[in-house]
Amino acid sequence: MSPTSPAPLSGDSAALVIRALLDFRSLWTTHDLVSTTGVRASAIRPVITQLEQEELVERQAPGVVAVPSWLALVHRWNKDVRFSRDANLSCWRSRPGAPPLLNRIAADPVRHALSGTQAAQHWEPETPNGPTVIYTPDAEAAADRWGLVPAKNRTIVLAEPASDVVYTRTRKTGTGLRLAAPSQVLADLLTGAARARSAAEPLTRWMLEHELDWRY
């Protein structure tokens, strides 16, 4: 890495801190971030220092920071964390005659979080269709329970995440289906969870216009 290159914002600790900064409208102290994320203060400080150097957080008072643009923070995070690279992906299809997949998942105790365009459509129906993307810890075990068989096409994508951060602050639908948080879904759409980055545009607009509906 050259001296002028930004330090990576990858890894579990950085992801937990960035997701907290994205998911909450708040002024933050290190103590608050420790309480929210469970990350040690010694691991939080370098992340905040890097973000401050890149003007992605602003000092509001000694020891207090805020995020001036959550969208800029998403785009910066995606330079180091990418769906198409950081999750172990496999392609599947439903067995003929099987009930709708999302209904099967909602009624099953296997850990999951729906991402991609189908998750985005829960908030912004104008999101174009794309692969059904589901985070789950063990793709083969989940596929067996959900009646899926291997496929060559990206119709159904099971993603084994590099960390459990993707399950942080999931949303539960009325049927019991778990959706990844909007910030996670948007980051995924921008980095390979859809057929084109443009699929993220409707959700981006919705998040900009309805910030109070998704940021705590």
Cβ atoms of 77 and 90 within 8 Å: the answer is: no
Nearest to 164, CA basis, from 11, 40, 26, 57 = 11
95-98: list long-range contacts, CB under 8 Å, 24+ apart: 95/147, 95/148, 95/149, 98/147
Nearest to 139, CA basis, from 111, 154, 155, 159 = 159
Confidence of residue 14 (pLDDT cuts 50, 70, 90): very high
The three-class DSSP label of residue 32 is helix
> For the chain, what is the mean pLDDT?
95
Residue 12 burial (C-beta neighbours within 10 Å; 0-12, 13-18, 19+): middle
The three-class DSSP label of residue 89 is strand
Q: What's the average model confidence in pLDDT over 81-107?
A: 94
Q: Measure Cα distances from 113 to 34, 80, 140 in Å.
A: 25, 21, 16
| 12-77 topology per CATH | Arc Repressor Mutant, subunit A (1.10.10)
CA dist., res. 49 & res. 30, Å (int)? 11
Q: For strand 58-61 and strand 64-66, is the pairing parallel, antiparallel, or unpaired?
A: antiparallel
Q: What is the pLDDT of residues 202-214, one digit of tens each?
A: 999 999 999 999 9
Q: What's the average model confidence in pLDDT over 104-126?
A: 97
CA atoms within 13 A on the CB side of 113: 22
pLDDT of residue 6: 60
Confidence of residue 98 (pLDDT cuts 50, 70, 90): confident
CA dist., res. 135 & res. 167, Å (int)? 8
CA dist., res. 182 & res. 178, Å (int)? 12
Cβ contacts of 170 within 8 Å, gap of 6 or more: 113, 178, 179, 180, 181
Q: Poorest-confidence range of 1-15, 70-84, 96-110, 113-127?
A: 1-15
Confidence of residue 7 (pLDDT cuts 50, 70, 90): low
% of the chain with per-residue pLDDT over 90: 94
Q: What is the pLDDT of residues 42-55, one digit of tens each?
A: 999 999 999 999 99
CATH top-level class for 83-214?
alpha beta
Cβ atoms of 24 and 65 within 8 Å: the answer is: no
Q: What is the pLDDT of residues 127-185, one digit of tens each?
A: 999 999 999 999 999 999 999 999 999 999 999 999 999 999 999 999 999 999 999 99
Query: What pTM, to 2 d.p., does this model score?
Result: 0.95
Task: Record the tokens describing residue 70, joined without a space.
Answer: 């959550």
pLDDT of 4 > 60? The answer is no
Confidence of residue 1 (pLDDT cuts 50, 70, 90): very low
**Domain boundaries, given as residue ranges, for the chain:** 12-77, 83-214
Residue 151 burial (C-beta neighbours within 10 Å; 0-12, 13-18, 19+): middle
Strand partners, 133: 115, 157
